[in-house]
Structure 1
């Protein structure tokens, strides 16, 4: 390792003050010998120590991924002004903390330093693990439902179809409707499980072509589709975008009726889907994307939650509002277009 010793006095107090005020997170600075010459309170608090406890400590004693035997090569791999980001784990004084780091090499008064900001991501990592576990449980449950319910449902439906060919009874119609309802629940549960998989590669996609394909794949009965604005190419996972429209169209028919008029409008930062139905009461607009929430007794409450997950997977945003005719309108923004 290098013999050069860096001292806190090499950097002006004004630099420290401006730096810490600018970032507002954990800050650590180490010199060419790999030892900290400065840390702020936020960084030291990650390990339940004081800043003085970390001064002189080598970076590899805190960041295990830094190898002391190859530190010189690591240092030399930076050019002045280079910035690198990483998610890692810092350990010190018996504390192990997942962190996101941004490290930049800067030369001050002729001496190079590594200036790092460190953010505690413990909570985010815990949330990611929880989401992953929930998704795994959901997939397992969906698979169980698919295998254990599909077969008896198909058998029951087959018998009902046979009986309806010979017997005209209202009770058989009620049974048939109940079986269709159960089949719909199973289908949407499986779809919900698949929706938890990440959005795939995004490519330029024709908005209106995707809308038309989605409309053609839904039982729209007497519903009408209207396209407004100019067709545009957007960056999206085409299959998931089509799935988004299919769910919004089903939602419109389910809540506004078989003769609903649905308008898909292309806009500068995204698109919207509106209908001329009864609309969504203002007090319920924030809840419509919750799993299982529905105002229709025949609905599953999965469709709009699936829509939101697809939107989130694309880093878009969605808002439930009111259409010009007083119906429901879903505005999707943050969509990237292709010139």
Structure 2
């Protein structure tokens, strides 16, 4: 990963990030994590945008030096050698110490301002809300029970736990003694575009960036704000994230036919592709939405024969969504989308 890269998991995903100093960041399900660089120190900042991350930093020879920095919208965490969990939910950040000690302060605090920080040891937890001057005083929690829940097949890291168990089961030798953290090499799951969109809709857009204002207005289907952004000079097809989501694709995710129609009428590219190689039509087929948007996209030139990075057309994605639907209402929605799509061969 490089500075600026963002990693997003869905409810079935989790991924391990191994750093050069052997530190491990485990990003759990329904989470968004971004790697940033401190412009003054040129050190990396690990930012949890939403969800949960478990961090293991081995102790080094220079115990006094901060080895790793984790930040959220509400909190700042300085790490030497320790293991802990950070959870961001709503407008608060919670920190649970598993081993060693963590320095925990409010958002954007300087580590030199020690009065704003509290030490959180293993078996203790603290919380900081948006705008708070200092995190709460650490209190003890049931560490053994919490560790058991983290590493359970139903926990936030279940994708990695299940993979680790499969690997152990395949070995003929006797299994090694279990450890607090199971480390399993696993490929990152495909990012959930809808999860990414929800996270990005909450980030304030810069007043001098009309293209970002257009993009975020599209994510919530707000036509008047989109109109104002275009008048201010927004680029209608400019993508804003590592997922390469266009404003039109964002409007599809908002499930607002009026927003989709507005962008199409203003010459938005109907076959623009995201990082998964999917067009707005494919996104509609895989994420769901109002069937009238299928007709609107097709009428303006959306190509149903195009395939994504996995070689699937919009029709194939819709049929897969029908098959995987969790309930009858969802199955019916995707079936209507599938029925509205023309049956055409995939483009070569």
Normalising by structure 1, we get a TM-score of 0.26
Query: Would you tell me which structure has more helix in proportion to its own residues?
Result: 1
> Normalization by structure 2: what TM-score?
0.26
Give the structure with higher Rg (CA): 1
The structure showing larger relative contact order (alpha-carbon pairs under 8 Å, at least 6 residues apart) is 1
